[in-house]
Amino acid sequence: MKAGVLAIVVCGILIAVSFSGCMETTPPVTEKVLIFACSGDAVKLDPADVTDGESTGRTDSIFEGLVEYKEGTAEIQPCLATSWVPSADGKNITFNLRHDVKFHDNTTFNADAVVFSFERQYNTSHPYNKYGLWQYWGWMFTDISKVEKIDNYTVKIVLSRSNAAMMTSLAMFTVAIVSPTNAELWKGDAFKHPCGTGPFKFVEWVQDDHITLKAFKDYWRGAPKIDKIIYRVMTDPSARLLAIKAGDIQGMEFPDPSSFNSIRADDKLQLLTKEGMTVGYLAINNGYGYNDSNKNGVHDQNEPWIKTPGYFKPLTNRSVRQAINCAINKTSIVKNLYKDSAIVAINGMPPFMLGWNGSINDYPYDPARARELLAEAGYANGFDTTLWVMKQGRPYMADPPKVAEAIQSYLAAVNITVNIVQLDWSTYLNKAYNGEFQLCLLGWTGDNGDPDNFMNPLYGANACGLGVAGNYAFYNNTKVQDLFTAALQTYNTSERAQLYKDAQGIMHEDAPFVFLAHANQNLVFTKNVQGFVLNPTGRYFFYPVDLT
Partner 1 sequence: MARKRETKTHELIRRFRYNKSAVFGLILILFLVFIAIFAPFIAPQDPTPSPPQLENSLKPGFWSNESIPGYPLGTDMLGRDVLSRIIHGSRTSLTIGFIAVGIATALGILIGVAAGYYGGWIDNVLMRITDILFAFPSLLLAIVIVAVIGQGLDKAMIAIGIEYSPQMARVMRGSVLYIKEMEYIEAQKAIGSSNTRIIFRHVLPNSLSPVIVYGTLMMAGAILDAAALGFLGLGAQPPSPEWGAMLSESRFYIVSGSWWAATFPGIAIIIAVLGLNLLGDGLRDILDPRLKE
Partner 2 sequence: MKWYIIKRLLQIIPVVLGVTLIAFSLIHLAPGDPVITMLGQHATQHEIDEARAKFGLNQPLYIQYFIWLSDVLHGDLGRSIISHEQVTIEIGSRFPNTIELAIAAMIFAILIGVIAGIVSATKQYSVADYSVMGVALFGISMPVFWLGIMLMMIFGVFLGWLPIGGRIDLMIPFNSITGFMVFDSIITGNGAALISVLRHLILPAIALGTIPMAIIARTTRSSMLEILRQDFIRTERAKGLSERKVIYKHAIRNAMVPVVTVIGLNFGLLLSGAILTETVFSWPGVGRLIVDSVYDRDYPLVIGCILVFALVFVIVNLITDLLYTYIDPRIHYD
Please say whether the beta carbons of 62 and 229 come within 8 A.
no
Query: 358: helix, coil or strand?
Result: coil
Of residues 144 and 389, the one with the C-beta less far from partner 1: 389
Tell the smallest beta-carbon distance from residue 256 to partner 1 (Å).
6
Among 77, 152, 238, 332, binds partner 2 (CB under 8 A): 238
Q: How far is the CB of 495 from partner 2 (least distance, A)?
A: 38
Distance of closest approach, residue 528 Cβ to partner 2, in angstroms: 13
Q: Does 427 bind partner 1 (CB under 8 A)?
A: no
Our finding on whether 306 is near partner 2 (CB under 8 A) is no
d(CA 275, CA 536): 8
| 412: partner contacted, choices partner 1, partner 2, none (Cβ within 5-8 A by kind) | partner 1
Between 16 and 88, CB nearer to partner 2? 16
Distance CA 113, CA 108 (A): 9
Tell me which residue of 170, 231, 246 sits closest to 450, measured CA to CA.
170
Sign of the C-alpha dihedral, residues 471, 443, 236, 55?
A: positive
Residue 105 touches partner 2, criterion: CB under 8 A:
no
Contact set for partner 1, span 218-257 (CB under 8 A): 236-238, 241-242, 256
What is the spatial distance between Cα 205 and Cα 21, in angstroms, rounded to a whole number?
27
Taking the least distance from each CB to partner 1, the nearer of 166 and 519 is 519
Chosen from partner 1, partner 2, none, partner binding at 132 (C-beta under 5 to 8 Å by type) = partner 2
Of the candidates 212, 181, 170, 199, the residue with the CA atom closest to the CA atom of residue 45: 212
Q: Does 242 help bind partner 2 (rule: CB under 8 A)?
A: yes
Interface residue with partner 2, options 188, 304, 351, 364 (CB under 8 A): 188
Residue span 30-49 as binding mask against partner 2, x where in contact by CB under 8 A, dash where not: ---x-x--------------
Please report, as residue ranges, which positions from 407 to 446 form the binding site for partner 2 (by CB under 8 A). 422-424, 426-427, 430-431, 433-434
What DSSP element (H or E) covers 37? strand 33-38
Please give the C-alpha separations between residue 174 and each of 15, 50, 140, 334, in angstroms, as whole numbers.
52, 8, 9, 32
Name the nearest CA neighbour of 508 among 346, 282, 349: 346
Which of partner 2, partner 1, none does residue 493 bind (CB under 5 to 8 Å by kind)?
A: none
Could you say whether residue 273 binds partner 1 (CB under 8 A)?
Answer: no
From the list partner 2, partner 1, none, which binds 19 (C-beta under 5 to 8 Å, kind-based)? Answer: partner 2
260, with CB counted inside 10 A (0-12, 13-18, 19+), is middle
Task: Select from 118-126, 146-154, 333-341, 487-495 the region that touches partner 1 (CB under 8 A).
Answer: 333-341
Nearer to partner 2, 7 or 185 (CB): 7
DSSP 68-131: EEPTTSS-EEESSEEEEEE-TTSSEEEEEEPSS-B-TTSPBP-HHHHHHHHHHHH-TTSTTGGG
What count of other Cβ atoms lies within 10 Å of the Cβ of residue 536?
A: 22
Q: Residue 443 — φ and ψ, nearest 5°?
A: -175, -165
Task: Check binding of 262 to partner 2 (CB under 8 A).
Answer: no
SS (H, E, C) 132-174: CCCHHHHHHCCCEEEEEEEECCEEEEEECCCCCCHHHHCCCHH
Report, in Å, the least distance between residue 227 CB and partner 2: 12
Taking CB within 5 to 8 Å according to partner kind, which of partner 1, partner 2, none is near residue 265?
none
Tell which one of 401, 486, 497, 528 touches partner 1 (CB under 8 A): 401
Q: Which of 164, 172, 177, 249 binds partner 2 (CB under 8 A)?
A: 249
Q: Does 73 sit near partner 1 (CB under 8 A)?
A: no
Binder among 83, 152, 160, 332 for partner 1 (CB under 8 A): 332
Q: Does 384 bind partner 1 (CB under 8 A)?
A: no
> Is the CB of residue 483 less than 8 Å from the CB of residue 475?
no
| Contact in structure between 141 and 175 (CB atoms under 8 Å) | yes
Told to check if 533 binds partner 1 by CB under 8 A, we report no
Residue 420 binds: one of partner 2, partner 1, none (C-beta under 5 to 8 A by kind): partner 1
Closest by CA to 441, choosing from 383, 503, 399, is: 399
The nearer residue to partner 2, 118 or 433, going by C-beta atoms, is 433
Contact 251, 265 (CB under 8 A): no
**Beta-carbon-side half-sphere exposure of residue 138 (alpha carbons within 13 Å):** 30
Q: Considering just the CA atoms, what is the radius of gyration of the chain in Å?
A: 25
Task: Name the one range near partner 1 by CB under 8 A: 51-59, 375-383, 406-414, 526-534.
Answer: 406-414
**Residue ranges that bind partner 2, judged by CB under 8 A:** 3-4, 6-7, 10, 14, 17-22, 25-27, 29, 33, 35, 130-133, 188, 192, 206-210, 230, 232, 234-236, 238-239, 242-243, 246, 248-249, 391, 422-424, 426-427, 430-431, 433-434, 467
